[in-house]
Structures are given as C-alpha cells and as structure tokens.
Amino acid sequence: MSTTLLDARMISTAQALPAMSGAALTGVDASDLVFISKNVISSATSALVVNFDQTAYSNWMIWIRDLHCVSTTYIGMRWSNDNGTTFTNQNYGYYHGGGRNGATFSRGASPDGYAYLGANSWNNSGSKFNATINLTTKAGDHMDEVCYWYSGAYNTTAGSAYQSHVNGSYHVVAPNYNTAFEITAGGGGTNLDEGTVTLYGLKES
C-alpha cells in the first residue's frame, strides 16, 4: 500500500471556503424567517400574552430566551381565541427529558389546562429556561387548530432529575384558539421576572 503526502505549497488560498449555513442544522434558512414581535420581561408579572395575526402565516417559530421564575415551578403555555382573554384547556401532548446522573422524566397531558414546557424551573439567579418552539396554526380537521413541537434546556436544584434537556409536542384540540398564546410559570401569580419571547413567521415561498 502506497502513501501520498500532501505538499502544503500546492494548497491555494486565493478562494475563501464557503460559509456554513445554519439551515443545515435547523432545516430553516434565516432568510425564511420574518420577524413579528419581541417581548421582554423585566419585572415580576403573572404571565406574558403575545397576540398575532394567525392568518398571516401558517407556520411560526417562537424563541424563548433566559426565562426566569420568582419561585421554583413549571413553565406553561396555553392558547386563546380572543387575543388573550379566554383560554382553552384542551392541551393534549407530552414532554420528556433528561437530567443529572442520567436521570430521565416524562409527562403526558390528557388534557391539561397548560402545556408543560419545563417541569420544574429553579428560581436561583443563575437558572434560566431556553426553548425553540415550532408551530402551525393550521392543524386539525378544520385547519384552524394549533400544533407545536419544541426543544429546550434549563437547570434547577442540584440533584434534581429536572435538569438539562427537555422536548415535547402538543396539539390544541379546540378550533380557533390561535389568536394569542400565553407563557406563564406555575399557572399564575407574579412568578415571571425576566426573559425574552420572540415570534417569527415562516415564509412558504
């Protein structure tokens, strides 16, 4: 078997290597995302409600960054049919994840008042919840239901299984509950005091 050595002098540096696109990792090119809104939580509040025109796009992305709870509790999400006044409790789905020392956890909703995005988010000053949510507002038989799937990461009390990574999927089995969504911690109370929630529409052509 012969071996061919590469002479460094034969390598041309006249042409730059092509840039790596994030689309190879996410399946979505950044140019396909249309910024809709950015909501920043900077003081204690019971919930964040985000309204949007569900007819503008069929598919969306939500970025949750550095969400912090006042007390240790779950991060929840639910949907409205009247821009944030009335919410459905028809949240079917599941989440599962992995924590410290190889621990795993899972939970199903059949249904719940809230979809659980994070099971037990710690209120330590350094503990933050982060997630990326992909969703459609055109699911179901009537093409007007919400279906979404997500992945996230967060940390909680040392030794707890609820730490590191979580992912899940939910279907809002109620027509027309797609005009607004709410992000909350523990289902109410002034329990969110920090974080950013950014909404994007996804172009289809």
At CA 200, angle to CA 139 and CA 122, rounded to 5? 90
Widest pairwise Cα distance in the chain? 75
Q: Check residue 37 and report its DSSP letter.
A: E
For 106-117, what is the mean pLDDT? 90
Looking at residue 11, its pLDDT comes to: 43
pLDDT band at 18 (very low <50, low <70, confident <90, very high): very low
With residue 181 as reference, give the H or E element that holds it. Answer: strand 180-185
Which residue reads 């990326």 in tokens?
A: 132
For 146-168, what is the mean pLDDT? 77
Distance CA 192, CA 205 (A): 37
For 11-23, what is the mean pLDDT? 47
pLDDT band at 137 (very low <50, low <70, confident <90, very high): very high
Distance of CA 143 to the CA centre of its chain: 22
Looking at residue 78, its pLDDT comes to: 96
For 100-125, what is the mean pLDDT? 82
Task: Indicate if the pLDDT at residue 17 is higher than 70.
Answer: no
Which residue reads 């002034």 in tokens?
A: 190
* Percent helix / strand / coil, the chain, rounded to 5: 5, 50, 40
Which residue reads 């919930």 in tokens?
A: 47
Mean pLDDT across the chain: 83
- pLDDT tens, position by position, 27-70: 556 678 999 999 999 999 999 999 999 999 999 999 999 999 88
Looking at residue 142, its pLDDT comes to: 73
pLDDT band at 99 (very low <50, low <70, confident <90, very high): confident
Q: What is the pTM of this model?
A: 0.81
Residues with Cβ within 8 Å of residue 140, at least 6 apart in sequence? 147, 171, 173, 175
With residue 109 as reference, give the H or E element that holds it. Answer: strand 104-112
Give the phi and the psi of residue 103 in degrees, each rounded to 5: -70, 145
SS3 call for 21: coil
